Amino acid sequence: MIAVLLAVPPVQSARLAAELEMEGVRVVTAVQPDAILPLPPDVDAVVVSAGRRTLTTELIAACDRAGVRIVPLGDTVGRAGRRGLPPVLPSGAQGWQVVAALTADIPEQPVPTAAHRVTVVWGPSGSPGRSTVAIQLAVELARAGWRAALVDADTVAPSLALLLGLSDDAPGIAAACRRAERGGLDSAELTRLASALETSTGEIAVLGGINRPGRWPELGADRLRSALQACRGWAQQTVVDVASPFGADDEATYDLAGPRRHAATTAALQEADAIVAVASADPLGISRFVREHAELRRLTAPTPIRVVINRVRPGPLGLDARAQIRRTLERFSGVTDIAFLPWDQRAADAALLNARPMADVTPRSALVAAVRRLAATHAPPAASAVTDDSSRGSSRVARRLLRAPAARGASRGAGGRGSAS
C-alpha cells in the first residue's frame, strides 16, 4: 500500500485523506504546507500545495535523498515546472487524480493490451445509449478482426436480444452464471449457450440477458464475475452492457446477507479491463454523469475509463456543445480525454426498425464512423495483438495487490521527479 504525507490546507486535508483511503492509499499524517521537514519514516510520497514557501530546495533535496515522490497541487505550474517536478494537479484535485499521478509512470504487470479483454459499457440513469454503444462497439471490434462477444448483464432493463432480433428465451448469461457457479463453464459451454449474430463484419456471439425482471437474483456478483473470467478464454473481446445503478442503495436494506439487484453492475465494473462510460449530451445527462463519476472511479480504480458523450447536437447546449461539455467535465470531474458521438436519429430509427446493428443498415452513418474511430483507439487491429496464450491477472483485487509492491519500489527509486438505448 502506498503511504503518503498530506501537506495541504486543513480545509482540504480531511476530504483528500478520506478519498485517498478509499482508493487504497494510506495517509501517514497531515501537516501544514510549510512544516513538512523532517520527513517521517516509511513515506512514499508527499502531496503538497505548490507555492514559494513549500516547494523549497531543502524539501526537494530531502525527498530525493529519501526516494520520496512529490505531488504538487495548485493553480499555477511555473515553480514546479522549473524544479523538474511532475505536472501540478488542480488545487481541488480528487483522491483518484492524486492516485493516478502517483502511479502514472509505474510499469504494469505483463497484461495483454487488447486480446482477452472484458470491456464494460456503463452510463448513468436516463438511457444515455449504453446498449447502442455496446452493440456498435462489438461490431467494430469484429470488423477489426477480433473474436467478439456481447453480454447483456443489465438487471433492470435488458434489451440486447430485442434490439438485435434474437430470442429472449435463449439460455444466455443467466445460464452461464449457473454453470460458472458449479465450475462447469468453459469455451465449448459458452458457445452452446450463446446466440450467433451474423453481421456485415462477421459473427458475434451474444449472451442475452434475463427475460423477466424478477430473474435478477440469477446474476449474482460471484456468479457473474466467474462467468466474465471464463469469457476471457472464449472471446478476444467481450463487451458487457450493464445497468446504471452501482448497488449502494441496496446496502440500506435489512437483509444484509441477501442478494443485491445491482450487484451485477458493480461486479462487472470491478472485473472489467476497460470501462466505456456513456453520457448523453444534454444538461441533465452531463449533470448525472458528473455526480456519479467520482463513485465510479472509487469502485473501479485503477481500471481505465473512456468517457463517451453520445447524441451530440447543438439543440440542448447551443452551437458550441462540445466545448461546453469539455469545460464542464474538466472542471467538475477532471476528465480531459473525451470521445463524442453525433446525434443520428435516422440511423437509430433504421436500426430499431430492422432489429440490426446500425453498421448493417446505415453503414455511412456519422455515428457508425464515430464508433469505428472509438474502437480503433480502444483496441488495435487483431493482427497486431498479443498471442492467444498470453496470461493476465484478471481481477481488480489481483491487479491492485500486484501493483502495490511495484508502486513502493518505483517511488523509492523515482525520488522527487517524480442514440436510443
* CATH number of the structural domain spanning residue 238: 3.40.50.300
Same domain, 137 and 9: no
| Amino acid of residue 80 | A
Same domain, 130 and 29: no
Same domain, 230 and 360: yes
How many domains are there within the chain?
Answer: 2
Same domain, 353 and 410: no
Q: Which own/partner pairs from 21-27 qualify as long-range (CB within 8 Å, at least 24 positions apart)?
A: 22/95, 22/298, 23/95, 23/96, 23/98, 23/99, 23/298, 23/301, 24/99, 24/301, 24/400, 24/404, 25/1, 25/95, 25/98, 25/99, 25/102, 26/1, 26/2, 27/3
Which of the residue ranges 208-217, 357-366, 401-410 has the most confident prediction, judged by mean pLDDT? 357-366
Q: What is the pLDDT of residue 385?
A: 43
Rounded Cα gap, residues 281 and 300, in angstroms: 24
What's the grid cell of residue 93? 484535485
**Assigned domain for 421 exists:** no
What pTM did the predictor assign? 0.69
Q: Domain of residue 287: give its range.
A: 117-390
CB neighbours of residue 165 within 10 Å? 10
**Mean pLDDT computed over 7-18:** 89
**Assigned domain for 347 exists:** yes
| Amino acid of residue 139 | V
* Cβ atoms 35, 11 nearer than 8 A: no
- 3-state per-residue secondary structure call for 328-367: HHHHHHCCCCEEEEECCHHHHHHHHHHCCCHHHHCCCCHH
What is the percent of the chain where pLDDT is above 90?
Answer: 54
Mean pLDDT of the chain: 84
pLDDT band of 114, cuts 50, 70, 90: low
pLDDT for 130-178, tens place per residue? 999 999 999 999 999 999 999 999 999 999 999 999 998 899 999 999 9
Rounded Cα gap, residues 205 and 238, in angstroms: 9
Calculate the alpha carbon distances from 4 to 44, 125, 251 in Å: 6, 36, 31
